[in-house]
Structure formats: structure tokens, C-alpha cells
Structure 1
Amino acid sequence: MVTSPSVPRLVVAAPSSGSGKTTVTTGLMAALTARGLTVSPHKVGPDYIDPGYHALATGRTGRNLDSYLCGPELIGPLFLHGARGCDIAVVEGVMGLYDGAAGEGELASTAQVAKLLRAPVVLVVDASSQSRSVAALVHGFVSWDPEVRIGGVILNKVASDRHEELLREALEHVGVPVLGVVRRAPEVGTPSRHLGLVPVAERRAAALDAVAAMAARVAAGCDLEALLALARGAGPLSAPVWDAGTALADAAPADAAPAPDGTGADGVPGAPTVAVAGGPAFTFSYAEQSELLTAAGAVVVPFDPLRDEALPDGTRGLVVGGGFPEVYAAELSANEPLRAAVAALALGGAPVAAECAGLLYLCRELDGRPLCGVLDASARMSERLTLGYRDAVAVTDSVLAAAGTRMRGHEFHRTVVEPGAGAAPAWGLRGPGRRVEGFVRRGVHASYVHTHWAARPETARRFVAGCRAP
């Protein structure tokens, strides 16, 4: 381990979901950025949408810290990677402070991440239906785990001056300072739908207005100097700084790694082009995936399946991550030239990694609208939410993993694919409700399971090696 320079840092948590931590966190990031500070934004857990708002607030890539997907040992390194060159880091928690992976104790909880980062916690409390009871609530959270340092409270949804007075008076007996009071107000323009907030990519102008409103509320109601002082008291963090190239060098070798001179098995020099789907329909990805692909020797080129009628020139591999294709099914279906190009690439054996929305895009149809037809399966919207962490084992050799490789992932969707698995499934899911799911066909790996490649950097090397193959 190496001791990195101290990065001032805060974790913003709450007793439960719905307390307002996204509003407060995003507003705090934007307010600190407006003061001229370089703010590193982070999100605990697998969520893809909140980091988009964080990025808008700070002008930097929002990054996830998930100890279930990546392991506790990578939390510090990934945090330091994102926080390079920053004046302060702000980490938004997930769910309630002590909530984590079901049946796994503190694993993947905000509390665990705060302890791994040695970071003070600011507790955002929805005070809308209480007064003196707030003291008992905060006391319980402070005393539950002595290793979690709750450095202050921000009271949210406070109704009046008198309400604020009662809350502050009650909290005097707990010994936790009140670092902010945010008054009750209408929602600040962050609409939701079936999987949470609407992503920034779908509403950029409105999202900018919403972030500005959040910043104004936090700047008006919170003691920014006290929050900065708390963050600066976090002290040093002893951990190596994650780096994609180093992670690849330390990872297990891929079965078909490229030659040291940069040529592939076909003797073609240069780096293969990997097209990565983006735009409003495909907004779910972890930044480290593209960084690992680049470190493995690929040229990563983004494209928008809603607008681009062709894949990037020279595409040798394709990554289609998560998002909301169900919202854009008509537009995706209408882009027949791109659908044909994707089908031709996949059926020609090129490596294709498709997660969740990507899986739907490769199906014959989604809610009756024709899509790429790479997989002999159809998709439809469902009333049922499928949500949770997954402990997965590769069932079939693929461009991502050799059979038997274990990887942890996450499912989050309101769609159904029928059948749920092909003749050669992608993953076997362990634990309760164990099943096989997903599809492996030629170079295609398609599945509902979202994975974080930083946990297994060799995935990127194996994928790029497949792109170099004849």
C-alpha cells in the first residue's frame, strides 16, 4: 500500500431512501464547484442515473463505489482514481446509511464505504413529520456503529422558523452539529419514471436548471465552511491509486492476448475500434469500462443508436450497455440501417457485449417493434421490477469470460425477455432462485446482468483480443 495525499472528503447519507440525499448531495457538489473548487463526485452502489446529475454539477465524470461488485479492496483505489487533482470529494450514499446487500451484513452499505474511505458522514434527515423525535433518530444512527463517524446533520424539508428551532433544540442533547437546514419546497425538476430519475442525457437543459436550483437551496441553507472543515479533517487514505493499465498488467492473462508489438492474431497493426453505444437510450455504463478497453489497446468510439445510421468506421467490436430502449423503441426500430449494421457485425462473429438494454436491442422485437434480430428472443415491458445483486458464474466460454469464471453483478429492469436464456446461456446465477440466463452466440455475450469490469480487468483484454482475431 502507498499513502496518497489527503483528499478532503464527505459521505452524504440518510436514514432511508427518499430523505433527499440526492438533492442535497448534487446541490452541495454544485455549490462547492461554484466557489471555484474542483469537486470529485462519487455514488455508493450500482446506480447509473445519480452520477449523471453529479457530473452535471461538477463538470467531472461521476463514478460509482460498489463493494459488492468490485470488492471492498477496490473502494479506496477507485475513489482515489476519480479524485485525482481534486480539492474535495463528495460521495452520495445509497438507501439508508446501514442498508447493504441483502443477507450480507454491512457489505455494499454506505456505512461500509465510509469506513473504507475513513470519511466523515453527513446525515440528511427528512424532518417533515417530526420535531423532538429527530434527536432519538440521530442518536440511534450515531451510536449503532462507533466506527462510522457522523460529523453533522442536514435537516431537510423543514417547515418554518419555529420548526427549525424545535429541531435544533432537540439535537443539542445528541452532540451532533446541525450543518444545514433546507426548507420544504416543491421538487426541483427531477422527474422520475419506472427505474428512478430520468437520466441527464434525456433532459439536459431541464437538468441544468434542476441542478442550479439544488445548488441555490444548499448554498442558502447549509454552512459550506463547516462542511469543508469537516471534509478536510478526514486525514490520509492509505491505498494505491487505481489505474487501468496497472490493473490490466496485474490481472490474469486473457486466453488470446494480443502480441507485444500491438499486432493481433491476423497480423493487422494498430488498435481495433470498439464502438460503444450512448445517447439518451443507452446511458448506463461505468467509466472504468472504456478506460480498461483503451488500456487493453482499443480505440473507443461512442455512437448514438437513435441518430447514427452506421457504426463507426472500422468497428471490430461493439459494447451496448444499459439504459431505456423501451422508452425509445419506436426510434430505435425506425433506424433500420443501423439495425442491419449491428446484425451484420454480430452475425459475422465480431465481439459484442450487451447488458440489459443492450440485450433488448439485440432481440427480434421489443413490445412488438422490430429490433436487431441477433437473438432468437423477444422482449416486452412488465409490471414486475427485477432488482438485486447477482452472484454469477459464466456457463459458456465467451468474449468476456471463460466458462467457470465467477463475477458479481446487478439486475435492474422492468422488462422480460422470452426465452430468458439461449441454448448456450451467459451466466448461472447462484443463491436463492438460482437459474441460468442470457445468451452466448458466436461473438455475442448478452445478459440482463450489469457487471463492473474493474473487478475483473482481464475481461477488457479478452474482449479486445477477440476484436483483433481474424
Structure 2
Amino acid sequence: MAPLAPGLVIGAPQSGAGKTMLTIGLQRAFARRGLRVKGAKCGPDYIDPAFHRAAIGHASVNLDGFAMEVPLLRGLAARAAENADLVIAEGAMGLFDGARAAGRSGAPADIARLLDWPMLLVIDARAAAQSIAAIAHGCATFPGAPRIAGIIVNRVASERHARMIEDGFARIALPLLGTIRRDDAMALPERHLGLVQAGETEGIDARIDAIADRIAGQCDLDAIRAAASPTARAPLPPLAVRPPGQRIAVARDDAFSFLYPHLLDAWRAAGAELRFFSPLADDAPAEDCDACWLPGGYPELRAARIAANRGFLTGLRTFAATRPVHGECGGYMVLGRTLQDADGTTHAMAGLLPVDTSMARRKLTLGYRRATLRHDAGFAPAGRELFGHEFHYATITASEGEPLADMADAEGNALPPAGHRAGNVTGSFFHLIA
């Protein structure tokens, strides 16, 4: 049996240091050397893994230390390391940041320690020089710190700035494995939920090539590869979240792209067939399917187009009359009566759930959630606790009818009931993980 690929985690003291840029640059740089590279994302995120796919041509798995039980986490990491030479995982937020409750932790540092993957730390050099080494030393010696493989310093202003940074690292034992010069042209475009999706970013392949060129020229790729640690074999347990049907119509396009690969893989492993369709292309769920799933995404950016796509909306209503339909976040908004875009224009949606939503009245909702369904659904029975998260700016402007689930935050504190259930149709802002 071939050994599993070694892995490492890209972490940072805080968000915005350049983790995604470094991750995709390293992934592409090693792939160009002929290595079979796989990607992973520590935590709940749909956008960054799509950039990993653009960099290496393979789907990137989410490794969520809070929402996933340890056997699932280890099994997914082992699966990612099969038929590969290197796994490069990207952390979320700061390396010690994340929910800690009920014996679970979503912090990237804890995921790295659990998998015995070292962490490559990227630190933003703006407004600091020798002090960057002190930050790195503090991260490496903080209680519960993973093994730090080395440091990459990003956004270095000049050769003099680089020499000052090197002077700081001469005083500590951590290796400095690269200094990346500041270049605003390497920045990736952003919008309200983070980076603009990889599939919508103009010239994405050329952008990633340019980033890889810069990183390969300014970082010690040999030392970074040598620092990765072996991945332990672990069986992949069956996911407790069952397929919502035997043949599932799944919306997939630029407006409906937020669905975790491990869920799709688990549904396939349980014997389900997935049939993808595009609401933006005015497709309806196939008549020979017995369930429909509308993931989250950015329907608010294309609300007028969706409202005009009568084939999709009429077909969805016909489907929902006899078979289950579920919507997550953006999918939930489309299942509602109306969606008000950021300009204040109100668009008629499917009208299958008694809820109206708005992007004109923005309010950030963010965090892990624990949901308990009030009634059986195709994907889980009533009373089962489900782990997931919310991340949206949309607000509910009008709502009535039956809630879908009782909700709690990461620590188990009760939140108001959420979502809706009407006949065969269910939906909520809750993104299911496990």
C-alpha cells in the first residue's frame, strides 16, 4: 500500500496576512514541479477551496475541527492524502482563533496538532520589521501551539526592510523560509462574503501563475516541502447526514456554488445519484429526480435574472408539489416570496416559503450553529443535532409560518428558531457541515 502524502497547514496570526495567496501560489508552484498536490481548508469556507481547485485542478476538502467529529476529520485528511505527493491546507482567521466548546475546537492550530501536520506561518510585514520575529516566537510558544515549520513574511517593502526582518529572525530558532515583496497586482478582488469566486475572477489562471512565479522566486520551496509531515491512515466513517433522495437535483452555477464536497461524496457513497442543473441557465430540476437541493451562493447579485427565468421557477414549483426541496442560505432566499437586492429593487422569487429577504438592509450574521430539526427532513430525522454555520448579510423583512429548526450557537446558547417548512419545502440560512 502506497504511503499517504505528507501535509502542512498555512496559518497566520490574523486574517488578511496573505494565506490564500501563499496557499494557491505554493500549490501551483509545486504542481509545476510535477508533484501531485492536494488542497484542504481548515474551517467553514466555500470560496478559498475554489481557488485551490483553480490552482491544482482537484477539489479541496474542508477540515472543520468544530463541526466535525475527530474520526471524520482524520478520515477526510487521509482521503485527501491518497494518490498525492503533498497536501497544502489553508487555515482560517488567526491560527488560534475559532470556537471552543463541547470538547471541540475550530482553531487551525488545533487541527494541525490533531493531524500532526506542521504549520507554515505567514506574517504581514506592514508596519513592522524585527518585531515580526517576536510575533512568530510568540505564536510558536503559545500554549497549544502546533509545530511551526517556518515563517514566510509577506508584503516586504524593500531590500532594507528584508534585512531588518532577517536581523530579527537571527535571534530566534525559527527558520525564515521566504520574504515576499509587496505587490498590489497580486491582490485578488473581493466582495461582501470574501474574495470574488475563482470562476468569476478574470484571468484566474494567469493570476495564479504570476503568484506562483513570485513565491517560487522568493521562498525556499525545497525546505517547505521537506517540512511537511506524514499523514496518518484513518478510515472515513459514514456521514450521519443522509442523502435527501436517491436521485438528487443539485443547483450548481455562479449563483448556487456553496456546497461542501464531503457532503456530495458522502451522498454518492451512500448510493445516491447527483444531477446538476443551472438556474441561471433557466434549467429546472429534472423530472426523474426525487429530491432537489438549492445550495447557497450569490443569488442576490443575479436576482433580476433569476426572477425572469420562468422555466426554472415554474419547474421548481411543479417539482416541489410532489417531492422535497431544500434551500441553504442563498437557496433559502430563492425559495422565499421576494428578494430585495442591494439597490433596493424587489424581485419575485419562487414563493414556496413564507419569507421575504433583503440585501438592502444589510446586517452581518456569522458563526457556528447547532440546529435541531423540529420534523423529519430528507437529510436528517427530527431531534438530531446538526452542526453547521451561518455567514450572510441578508436580513429577513417579513416572515410567518412554521420554523424548520431550533437553533443554538457554538456554545449551546439558545437562539431564536430559524428557517421555514411548508409542505415538501424546507430552508434556512444554516449551512450544513455534519
Same fold (TM over 0.5): yes
Deviation digits for residues 55-74 of structure 1, max 9, x if unmatched?
Answer: 00011001111011112332
8 Å Cα contact 2:21-2:211 kept in structure 1: yes
| 1:83, distance to aligned residue in structure 2 (A) | 2.2
Larger deviation: 74-83 or 290-299?
Answer: 290-299
Change (3 A) 1:13 1:104: farther
CA distance in structure 1 between the aligned counterparts of 2:8 and 2:312, rounded to whole angstroms: 44
Q: Residues of 1 paired with 2:15 and 2:403: CA distance?
A: 39
Counterpart amino acid of residue 375 in structure 1:
L
Change (3 A) 1:315 1:353: same
Deviations 1:147-183, CA, capped at 9 Å, x for gaps: 5100100010011111111111111111111111100
Counterpart position of 2:328: 355
Taking the aligned partners of 2:162 and 2:276, their CA distance within structure 1 comes to 49
Q: Aligned partners of 1:182, 1:211: CA distance in 2, in Å?
A: 15
Corresponding residue of 1:67: 65
> In 2, distance between residues paired with 1:272 and 1:143?
50
Instruction: Supply the RMSD in Å over aligned alpha carbons.
Output: 2.2
In the superposition, the TM-score normalised over structure 2's length comes to 0.93
Change (3 A) 1:366 1:236: closer
Deviations 1:40-90, CA, capped at 9 Å, x for gaps = 100011010000000000110011110111123322111111222011000
* Partner SS state of residue 139, structure 2: helix
Q: Counterparts in 2 of 1:78-93, with a 5 A limit?
A: 78-93=76-91
- Kept in 1: contact 2:369–2:407 (CA 8 A): no
- 2:215 counterpart of 1:218: yes
Change in Cα spacing, 1:341 to 1:161, as seen in structure 2 (3 Å) is: same
Q: Is the 8 A contact 1:420 1:437 kept in 2?
A: no
Q: Partner residue of 1:399? A: 378
Residue 341 (1) aligns with residue 339 (2) = no
Match of 1:237 among 217, 223, 232: 232
Work out whether residues 421 and 437 of structure 1, in 8 Å CA contact, stay in contact via their aligned partners in 2: no
Partner of 1:287: 261
Alpha-carbon displacement from aligned partner over 1:183-203 (angstroms, at most 9, x marks no partner): 011142521111110112323
Matched, 1:190 2:188: yes
Hey, what does 1:444 align to over in structure 2? 425
Q: 2:294 aligns with which of 320, 334, 345?
A: 320
In structure 2, what is the equivalent of residue 200 of structure 1?
A: 198
Task: Give 1:164's aligned residue.
Answer: 162
Deviation at 1:424, TM superposition (A): 4.2
Q: Percent identity?
A: 37
1:287-337 deviation line (CA, Å, top 9, x unaligned):
122222223332211111100333235122111111011001011111011
| Equivalent residues, number | 426
The answer to whether the 8 Å contact 1:55/1:61 transfers is yes
CA shift digits 1:405-424 (9 cap, x unpaired):
11111000011234456324
How far does the alpha carbon of each residue in 1:416-438 deviate from its partner, in whole angstroms, 9 at most, with x for none? 23445632433433544611001
Q: Secondary structure at the match of 1:330?
A: helix
CA contact (8 A) 2:77 2:231 kept: no
Distance in 2 of aligned mates of 1:373 and 1:292: 31
Residue aligned with 2:54, SS: helix
The structural deviation recorded for 1:139 is 1.0
CA contact (8 A) 1:383 1:414 kept: yes
Tell me which of 353, 364, 371 is aligned to 1:385.
364
Tell me whether 1:42 sits opposite 2:21 in the alignment.
no
| Aligned-partner Cα distance in 2 for 1:402–1:63 | 26
Q: 1:289 to 1:115 in 2, by over 3 A?
A: same
Rounded to whole Å, the distance in 2 between the matches of 1:424 and 1:332 is: 25
Residue in 2 that maps onto 1:423? 402
Q: Distance in 1 between matches of 2:192 and 2:305?
A: 19
Write the distance in 2 (CA, Å) between the matches of 1:218 and 1:420.
50
Distance 1:236 1:424 in 2: 43
Residues 1:412 and 2:391 aligned together: yes
Give distance in 1, aligned partners of 2:145 and 2:15: 22
Given the superposition, is the C-alpha separation of residues 280 and 110 from structure 1 closer, same or farther in structure 2, using an over 3 Å criterion? same
Give TM-score, length-normalised by structure 1: 0.86
